[in-house]
Structure 1
Amino acid sequence: MAVLWMESWWEVLLTTAVILSTALTFVLVTLPSRYSSFDHLEKATGDVSKDANSRAESAVTVQVVVLGDIGRSPRMQYHALSIANHGGKVNLIGFVESEVHPDVQASRSIKVKPLHPFSKRWQTNNKALFLLIAPLKVLWQVWTLYQALGYRTRPSKWMLVQNPPSIPTLAVAQLICFLRNTRLIIDWHNFGYSLLALRLGPQHPLVRVSEWYEGFFAQRATAHFAVTDAMTKLLKQKWDVDASPLHDRPAEQFQPLTTQQRTSFLSKLAETAQYADGLETGKWKLLVSSTSWTADEDFALLLDALVGYSAAVAEDSNLPRALVIITGKGPLKEYYLKRIRELNQENKLSSVVVTTAWLSTEDYASLLGSADVGISLHTSSSGVDLPMKVVDMLGTGLPVLGWSKFEAWPELIHEGDNGCGFESAEGMTILLKDLFGDGGQRLQRLRQGALKDCERRWDDEWMPVAGQLLQLKP
Structure 2
Amino acid sequence: MAAGGAALALGALLLVLAALVWWWWRRAAAGGAGRVCVAVLGDLGRSPRMQYHALSLARHGRGVALLGYLQSRPHGDVLRSGNIRLVPVADLRGLRVGPKLFQYVIKVIVQAIQLLYTMLKIDQPSYILLQNPPGLPSIAVAWVACLFWRSKLIIDWHNYGYTIMSLSHGRNHPVVQIAKWAVTLYDKPASYFKETPLEFQHQLYMKLAKDYEPFKPRTESVRSNAEMSAFTEMDEKNGHVIKTRGRPALLISSTSWTEDEDFSVLLKALQDYERYISEGVKLPSLVCVITGKGPLKDYYNGLINKLHFKHIQICTPWLEAEDYPLLLGSADLGVCLHKSSSGLDLPMKVVDMFGCCLPVCAIYFECLHELVKHNENGLIFRDSNELAEQLKMLFLGFPTLEGKLHNFRKNLRASKQLRWDESWDQTVLPLLRQNE
Same fold (TM over 0.5): yes
Structure 2 counterpart SS, 1:361: coil
Residue number in structure 2 paired with 1:81: 55
Native 8 Å contact 1:91 1:110 kept in 2 = yes
Alpha-carbon distance in structure 1 between the residues aligned to 2:305 and 2:21: 56
What residue identity is the alignment partner of 2:378? G
**Which residue of 2 is the match for residue 39 of structure 1?**
30
The answer on 1:142 being equivalent to 2:112 is: yes
The residue type equivalent to 2:190 in the other structure is A
Residue 175 of structure 2: which of 238, 244, 250 is its match?
A: 238
Aligned to 1:309: 273
CA contact (8 A) 2:378 2:408 kept: yes
Counting only pairs closer than 5 Å after superposition, residues 17-416 of structure 1 correspond to structure 2 as: 33=24, 39=30, 59-119=33-93, 122=96, 130-150=100-120, 152-189=121-158, 226=160, 229-231=163-165, 237-238=174-175, 240-241=178-179, 242-270=181-209, 271=212, 272-274=215-217, 276-277=229-230, 280-342=244-306, 344=307, 347=308, 349-407=309-367, 409-416=368-375
Deviation, 1:396, is: 1.4
Tell me, yes or no, if the aligned pair for 1:84 and 1:107 is still in contact at 8 Å.
yes
Does the 8 Å contact 1:394/1:454 carry over to 2? no
Residue type of the alignment partner of 1:469: L
1 CA distance for matches of 2:413 and 2:130? 32
Aligned to 1:449: 411
- Moved >6 Å (runs of 4+): 25-28, 35-38, 232-236
- 1:300 and 1:363 mapped to 2: Cα distance? 26
SS at match of 1:281: coil
Moved more, 410-419 or 295-304: 410-419
Could you say what secondary structure the match of 1:357 adopts? coil
User: TM-score scaled by structure 2?
Assistant: 0.81
Residue aligned with 1:244, SS: coil
SS at match of 2:205: helix
Deviations 1:96-145 (A, max 9, x none): 0010111111111111110001116759xxxx964342222211210111
- Mapped to 2, the partners of 1:362 and 1:38 lie a distance apart of 40
Alpha-carbon distance in structure 1 between the residues aligned to 2:294 and 2:389 = 29
Q: Distance in 1 between matches of 2:216 and 2:200?
A: 14
Root-mean-square deviation over aligned CA pairs: 3.0
Shift of 1:406: 2.3
**Gap runs ≥5 in structure 1:** 1-18, 42-58, 190-224
Equivalents in 2 of 1:459, 1:66: separation in Å? 20
**Deviation for aligned residue 1:231:** 4.3
Contact kept, 8 Å, 1:395 with 1:453, in 2: the verdict is no
When residues 172 and 226 of structure 1 are mapped into structure 2, their CA distance, relative to the original with a 3 A threshold, is same
Say yes or no: does 1:421 pair with 2:383: no
Q: Is the 8 A contact 2:28 2:150 kept in 1?
A: no
Select the structure that is richer in helix.
Answer: 1
Equivalent residue letter for 1:256: E
CA contact (8 A) 1:404 1:423 kept: yes
**TM-fit CA distance, 1:469:** 0.6
Q: Is the 8 A contact 2:115 2:141 kept in 1?
A: yes
Distance 1:312 1:131, change over 3 A: farther
Distance 2:22 2:68 in 1: 22
Residue 469 (str. 1) matches residue 412 (str. 2): no
| AA aligned opposite 2:79 | Q
Q: Helix, strand or coil for the counterpart of 2:357?
A: coil
* Aligned CA distance change for structure 1 residues 319 and 33 (closer, same or farther; 3 Å): farther
Cα distance in 2 between the residues matched to 1:100 and 1:254: 16
SS at match of 2:61: coil
How many aligned residue pairs are there? 389
Q: CA deviation at 1:433?
A: 0.6
Q: Residues 314 and 351 of structure 1 are in contact (CA less than 8 Å); yes or no, is this contact kept in structure 2?
A: no
Distance, in Å, in 1 between the alignment partners of 2:381 and 2:411 is 18
Q: 1:167 to 1:140 in 2, by over 3 A?
A: same
Counterpart contact for 1:398–1:451, Cα < 8 Å: no
Q: Does structure 2 conserve the Cα–Cα contact (< 8 Å) formed by 1:400 and 1:418?
A: yes
Alignment TM-score, normalising by the size of structure 1 = 0.75
Change (3 A) 1:187 1:282: farther
